[in-house]
Amino acid sequence: MAKAQTSILETKRLTLRPLTMDDLDVLATLYSYPEVRKYFPDRTLTYEETKKELEWIIDVCYGRHGFGLWATIHKETGAFIGRCGLIPWALEGRSEVEVAYLLAKTYWGQGLATEAAQAILGYGFERLPVERLICVIEPENRASAKVATKIGMTYRKEVEDEFGWASLYAIARPGITQD
Ligand SMILES: CC(C)(COP(=O)(O)OP(=O)(O)OC[C@H]1O[C@@H](n2cnc3c(N)ncnc32)[C@H](O)[C@@H]1OP(=O)(O)O)[C@@H](O)C(=O)NCCC(=O)NCCS
């Protein structure tokens, strides 16, 4: 019998649970859609590239950091509708943790990313000793920037990483005035 998976987070409409290699097919299908991957510097991913990312999430993110991207399940339908969670970053010489969200297009425009991101933010500040949480967003990705601001982040500046320039949004841990 398959082992029951404990969820990481529950919101009104979503369950976030750890990803496993059993999610590879559905994640690879999601990552193959150009619209879903439009604002990612590496664009659509192949099955093999998705497999490498999934291995990195499980081995490095969960294994070393204790957090990562999680399978995002729509409670009403039981469908796997995306992956949202926390990503460790080294940005301009500083260790950061990003609130990340990606959903299947059918589920856009219902406030689901904001619902997930809000819960992830709360989880991040509760569980991790971070001074702030960030989002690194392609400047033209208006929907993503909107989600970041709706969970209380503000635009800080443009940052350069190995993929090019992106907009940095951040929110300080409650009680911290300067991050
Ligand atoms: C970004 C993403 C997760 C948003 O998901 P979602 O569930 O539709 O988001 P929400 O419904 O919670 O909120 C989106 C907000 O952006 C707004 N929005 C959507 N498209 C927009 C656009 N082109 N310009 C301006 N605002 C836009 C919506 O109106 C909504 O704001 P509102 O509630 O004030 O009306 C989804 O578009 C997605 O998965 N995109 C592909 C992956 C991706 O780019 N992830 C982010 C990487 S940084």
- Predicted pLDDT at 5: 73
Where residue 10 falls among pLDDT bands split at 50, 70, 90?
A: very high
**Tens digits of residue pLDDT in 69-94:** 999 999 999 999 999 999 999 999 99
| Residue 1 pLDDT greater than 70, yes or no | no
Give one DSSP letter per residue of 36-53, joined into a string.
TTTTSTT-S--HHHHHHH
* Distance from the alpha carbon of residue 145 to the mean position of ligand 1, in angstroms: 8
Query: Which candidate, 153, 79, 156, 141, places its Cα nearest to that of 112?
Result: 79
**Tens digits of residue pLDDT in 88-141:** 999 999 999 999 999 999 999 999 999 999 999 999 999 999 999 999 999 999
In the chain, what are the helix, strand and coil shares in percent, each to the nearest 5?
30, 30, 35
- Predicted pLDDT at 4: 57
Using a 6 Å CB cutoff, which residues line ligand 1?
36, 39, 101-103, 108-114, 137, 141-144, 146-147
CA distance 46 to 32: 7
* pLDDT, mean over the chain: 96
* Distance from the alpha carbon of residue 97 to the mean position of ligand 1, in angstroms: 20
CA distance 49 to 163: 17
> In degrees rounded to 5, what are phi and psi of residue 154?
-125, 155
Q: What percent of the chain has pLDDT over 90?
A: 92
